[in-house]
């Protein structure tokens, strides 16, 4: 039996109402019926609201990689979107700093990559010029990235939800996807709501924007998570590595407002890609707050999301923070947010690219860690183009 569009509850179901799933829904709803399935009570309860909110410029990533291309494109697309919709955005620029003489060589490597990546306006600046920009920080030398900014990540996600609604997309919050079967021309989805009620849905295309659980959703379709092949009728499908590892990033807030206001833009140390991030940095937000973080810590085996933070890491953050702000006092800090990075990278491996994988109406978005917030609009475009 062949299916017709009337067999479907929606042409496309998007799993996950994080910033990426919402951007995808807003894009696809222009010319298709779209339904977003989200296990929480509302949008952006996970990674999309627990991050640095930095609008990255495309500095660090391998030239030509998705992270590079989509970050560069996403930087200007995000700014234009925020300007149009009144989403809080600060055009702060950013400094990557050497805080000791021996770190200058590390700056060379970052600058070479940024130049190869055609990052707009990227500039190496002297100690004097850097200290004029950020007098509170004992900078030895720096790279200035004028196109970096800071966005209110939750408001940005909400603007996609509003756009998707306006385009006619439907939202099923409090519904977790628990099972998927392929049917002729599409998929049958089994979801359970927070009260335990079961629901079944049919769709022609399925977009997996489940963030930290993207590989669990792929497992529901029977894909081998460590890559390999699977049968598709008479054909064989090559499956990439889908299994994600999780790396936790904690923040501490600078609660002394005069200290917080002594910095005006994100200030990053040299990156430590193998440890799982860009290095514990100093960020500002769109409301004048300042934060230290995120730390980098691999999670082994099973994990439960726990967004609480406490005093356990105060001394470690104080030491790290004093490299940027030597007069920082313990009382200037309070435990801040916690974020979880979904990574295709293994501990001690270098950067691994985003994964956008299409298989017969299924789209898998894997390893959507930083700069996924920045790249959300072009990620959505890639998904839409692949579904044409
Ligand atoms: C510490 C940290 C700092 C970061 N800093 C930056 C930054 O400065 N700039 C930047 O560009 N990026 C940054 N990022 C990356 C950015 O936050 C993410 O790339 C982005 O938020 C990913 O969005 P998402 O929609 O893919 O995932 P998520 O926001 O995690 O959304 C996935 C959604 O899927 C839902 N879901 C999962 N499974 C199911 C299921 N079975 N059924 C129904 N729903 C399901 C979840 O509940 C969740 O709401 C950072 C990330 C971290 C962790």
Q: How far is CA 301 from the centre of its chain?
A: 22
What's the mean pLDDT in 279-287?
93
pLDDT digits (tens, 9 = 90+) for 69-118: 999 999 999 999 999 999 999 999 999 999 999 999 999 999 999 999 99
46 has pLDDT over 90: yes
What's the mean pLDDT in 214-219?
98
pLDDT confidence tier of residue 1, bands split at 50, 70 and 90: very low
The model's pTM is 0.97
Instruction: Compute the distance between CA of residue 14 and CA of residue 294 in angstroms, rounded to an integer.
Output: 29
- Hey, whose CA ends up nearest to atom 37 of ligand 1? 210
pLDDT digits (tens, 9 = 90+) for 162-176: 999 999 999 999 999
Three-class SS of residue 287? coil
- Give the atom of ligand 1 at the shortest distance from the alpha carbon of 372: 19
Joined together, the tokens standing for residue 240 give 């990439």
The residue whose CB lies within 8 Å of the most ligand 1 atoms, and thus the one to mutate among 249, 372, 382, is 372
- Hey, whose CA ends up nearest to atom 9 of ligand 1? 54
Question: Measured at the alpha carbon of residue 337, what is the angle toward residues 313 and 284, in degrees to the nearest 5?
Answer: 100
Ligand 1 site, CB within 6 A: 15-21, 37-40, 44-48, 51-54, 56, 176-177, 209-213, 217, 249, 294, 339-341, 368-374
The alpha carbon of 19 and the centre of ligand 1 are apart by a number of angstroms equal to 7
The alpha carbon of 209 and the centre of ligand 1 are apart by a number of angstroms equal to 9
Instruction: Compute the distance between CA of residue 192 and CA of residue 188 in angstroms, rounded to an integer.
Output: 14
7 has pLDDT over 80: no
Dmax (CA) for the chain in angstroms is: 73
131 has pLDDT over 60: yes
pLDDT confidence tier of residue 5, bands split at 50, 70 and 90: low
The residue whose CB lies within 8 Å of the most ligand 1 atoms, and thus the one to mutate among 13, 61, 211, is 211
pLDDT digits (tens, 9 = 90+) for 140-155: 999 999 999 999 999 9
Look over the chain and give the mean of its residue pLDDT values, rounded to a whole number: 95
Let me know: does 365 contact 356? Beta carbons within 8 Å. yes
- Give the atom of ligand 1 at the shortest distance from the alpha carbon of 342: 53
Q: How far is CA 354 from the centre of its chain?
A: 10
The alpha carbon of 105 and the centre of ligand 1 are apart by a number of angstroms equal to 33
Domains of the chain as residue ranges with CATH: 5-49+155-243+350-386 (3.50.50.60), 93-147+245-343 (3.30.9.10)
| Least confidently predicted of 79-93, 175-189, 224-238 | 224-238
Peptide bond before residue 79 is cis, with ω within 30 degrees of 0: no
pLDDT at 2: 46
The closest alpha carbon to 253, from 316, 337, 313, 319, belongs to 337
- Residue 99 phi, psi (nearest 5): -105, 0
Peptide bond before residue 294 is cis, with ω within 30 degrees of 0: yes
- Hey, whose CA ends up nearest to atom 28 of ligand 1? 18
pLDDT digits (tens, 9 = 90+) for 303-362: 899 999 999 999 999 999 999 999 999 999 999 999 999 999 998 889 999 999 999 999
Report in angstroms the alpha-carbon separations of 295 from 251, 317, 338, 352. 7, 9, 9, 19
What's the mean pLDDT in 362-375?
98
pLDDT confidence tier of residue 267, bands split at 50, 70 and 90: very high
Joined together, the tokens standing for residue 386 give 């692949």
Instruction: Compute the distance between CA of residue 7 and CA of residue 10 in angstroms, rounded to an integer.
Output: 9
- Give the atom of ligand 1 at the shortest distance from the alpha carbon of 20: 25
Report in angstroms the alpha-carbon separations of 291 from 51, 63, 214, 317. 11, 30, 29, 10
């Amino acid at each position: 039996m062949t299916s017709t569009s009337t067999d479907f509850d929606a042409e496309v179901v998007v799993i996950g109402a994080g910033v990426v799933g919402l951007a995808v829904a807003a894009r696809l709803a222009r010319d298709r019926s779209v339904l977003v399935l989200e296990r929480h009570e509302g949008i952006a309860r996970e990674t999309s609201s627990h991050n640095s909110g930095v609008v990255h410029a495309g500095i660090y990533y391998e030239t030509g990689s998705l992270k590079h291309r989509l970050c560069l494109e996403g930087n200007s697309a995000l700014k234009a979107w925020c300007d149009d919709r009144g989403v809080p955005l600060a055009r702060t620029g950013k400094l990557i700093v050497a805080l000791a003489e021996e770190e200058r060589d590390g700056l060379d490597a970052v600058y070479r990559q940024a130049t190869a990546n055609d990052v707009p306006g990227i500039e190496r600046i002297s100690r004097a010029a850097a200290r004029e920009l950020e007098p509170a920080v004992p900078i030895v030398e720096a790279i200035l990235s004028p196109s970096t900014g800071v966005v209110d990540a939750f408001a940005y996600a909400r603007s996609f939800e509003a756009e998707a609604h306006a385009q006619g997309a439907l939202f099923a919050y409090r519904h977790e996807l628990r099972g998927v079967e392929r049917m002729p021309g599409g998929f049958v989805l089994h979801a359970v709501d927070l009260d335990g009620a079961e629901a079944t849905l049919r769709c022609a295309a399925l977009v997996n924007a489940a963030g930290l659980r993207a590989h669990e959703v792929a497992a529901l379709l029977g894909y081998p998570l460590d890559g390999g092949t699977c049968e598709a009728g008479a054909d064989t499908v090559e499956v990439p590595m889908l299994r994600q590892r999780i790396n936790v990033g904690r923040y501490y807030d600078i609660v002394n407002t005069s200290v917080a206001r002594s910095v005006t833009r994100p200030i990053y140390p040299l990156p430590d890609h193998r440890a799982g991030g860009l290095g514990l940095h100093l960020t500002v937000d769109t409301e004048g707050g300042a934060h230290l973080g995120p730390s980098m810590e691999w999670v082994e085996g099973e994990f439960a999301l726990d967004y609480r933070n406490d005093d356990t890491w105060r001394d470690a953050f104080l030491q790290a923070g004093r490299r940027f702000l030597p007069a920082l006092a313990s009382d200037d800090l309070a435990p801040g947010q916690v974020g979880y990075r979904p990574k295709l990278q293994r501990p001690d491996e270098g950067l691994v690219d985003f994964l956008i994988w299409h298989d017969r109406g299924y789209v898998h978005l894997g390893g959507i860690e930083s700069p996924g917030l920045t790249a959300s609009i072009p990620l959505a475009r890639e998904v839409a183009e692949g579904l044409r």
